[in-house]
Amino acid sequence: MILPLAACGDDLATEAAERIAENAGGGEVDIERDGDDVTIRNEDGEVSVSTSGRLPAGFPEDVPLPEGGTLVSGVAADTPDGKGWALTYSVDAQAADAVAAAVSRLEAAGYEPVEGGSVSMGEMTISQHRNGTWLVSVSGVESDGTVLQYIVAPDPS
């Protein structure tokens, strides 16, 4: 509920969202809005969300992205546990085909499949790959078009 209020864009909505977050968590929360970007900060870190079509700040350059499609949203999180990113694309392909194309690009860039990290369930396909630095989970689901999502986190191996 906090993010939709903050995304409204006026100062009153942002202040209300900050107060709700602070009352719920008991700590200081700062919410900043800049165009299509919203950043929420507290003592544990920050989360930035963008619907501008730009990659989030600090997104790893060695993670190959899909060819084609439209970047719908990007999220960057910086917490005591590390940095992570989530990208959501709208693509013109079936979910399984979009994930297969993403997997090909990951493998061509030196990423290796995670044992047991690939699964297909009905309209959804998921595949995980790692390169020793990053763990990348790519999922595709068909829901009013095809959505392709990348989740990137430090590789724990």
Query: What is the average pLDDT across 112-133?
Result: 90
Q: What are the helix (H) ranges across the chain? A: 2-7, 11-25, 95-108
Contacts of residue 108, defined as CB under 8 A and 6 or more positions apart, other chains included, come to 64
For residue 80, which of 142, 144, 133, 154 has the smallest C-alpha distance?
Answer: 154
For residue 55, which of 46, 65, 69, 41 has the smallest C-alpha distance?
Answer: 65
Q: What is the pTM of this model?
A: 0.80
* Percent share of the chain, pLDDT over 90: 50
Domains along the chain with CATH numbers: 1-43 (no CATH), 45-154 (3.40.1000)
Q: For residue range 55-109, what is the model confidence (pLDDT) as tens digits?
A: 998 999 999 999 888 999 999 998 777 899 999 999 999 999 999 999 999 999 9
